[in-house]
Amino acid sequence: MKNPDDLNALAELFTLAGNLKKLKRQGWIDRGVDQPESVADHSWRLALMTLLVASEDPEIDAGRAVRLALVHDLPESLTGDITPFDDQLREPEADRTSLFHDLPEYSDAADQSKTEAERRAIHQLTADLPADLAAMLIESWEEYEAGETAEARLVRQLDKLETWLQALEYRQIQPDLIIESFRKGTERDLTDPDLIALRRAIDALFRADP
């Protein structure tokens, strides 16, 4: 790649993507985690989990799945980390303790607004890239969002599992941390038998930890 405009576009994208290294995950901030991870922290471990799990499944294209894991939160470099609890937490009398014991009350309008904001962001981020690279990033994000391919279904479930693992790690440090919404979301969304077994192994590991 020798075109100066293409190189400048890549440099700009890499710089904007670096925002994810500084963007703290909002769900942990809302729950009062002392030193919350960044979105990039989450995406890195999700990509590693995806690589290892996908490599053991002959029906999954591991490289494609890892690409989805790396790209799925890229729009947040512009939009910030929007959570399904945001609307409820804006209410003047919001009871965080009660809210975080249960699953969020999803609003179709809020969900659509988030999707559209992130879609605009991924197009903005890729606007000046070479067409093939822009298409790869946009199509990867859209594939993850749609959740219809085997790779997307795997990564979406691993996304839940990685977050549950992080919740357990934080609760070791802050025993009063409320993580019930993450537990319920993981139980609801994990359908792959192998991932359910992996979740049980993770749970057992933390129960055994002194």
Q: Are 131 and 123 in contact (CB under 8 A)?
A: no
**40 vs 46: CA distance, rounded Å:** 10
**100 vs 18: CA distance, rounded Å:** 30
| Of the candidate ranges 21-35, 64-78, 88-102, the one whose mean pLDDT is the lowest | 88-102
Q: Model confidence over 124-144: pLDDT tens digits?
A: 999 999 999 999 999 999 999
Where does residue 16 rank: exposed (0-12), middle (13-18), buried (19+ CB within 10 A)? middle
Of 117 and 208, more confident: 117
Strand partners, 38: 24
Q: Model confidence over 157-198: pLDDT tens digits?
A: 999 999 999 999 999 999 999 999 999 999 999 999 999 999
**207 vs 131: CA distance, rounded Å:** 49
Of 16 and 87, more confident: 16
Q: Which DSSP state fits 72?
A: T
How sure is the predictor about 94, in pLDDT bands with cuts at 50, 70 and 90?
Answer: low
Which residue in this structure is represented by tokens 């294209």?
A: 61
**127 vs 45: CA distance, rounded Å:** 28
Domains of the chain by start residue, with CATH: 4-208 (1.10.3210.10)
Q: Are 122 and 74 in contact (CB under 8 A)?
A: yes
Q: Are 25 and 85 in contact (CB under 8 A)?
A: no
**125 vs 16: CA distance, rounded Å:** 8
Q: Which DSSP state fits 84?
A: T
List, in sequence order, the alpha helices (H) in the chain. 4-17, 19-22, 26-31, 39-55, 62-71, 76-79, 86-89, 96-99, 108-126, 131-146, 150-173, 180-189, 193-208
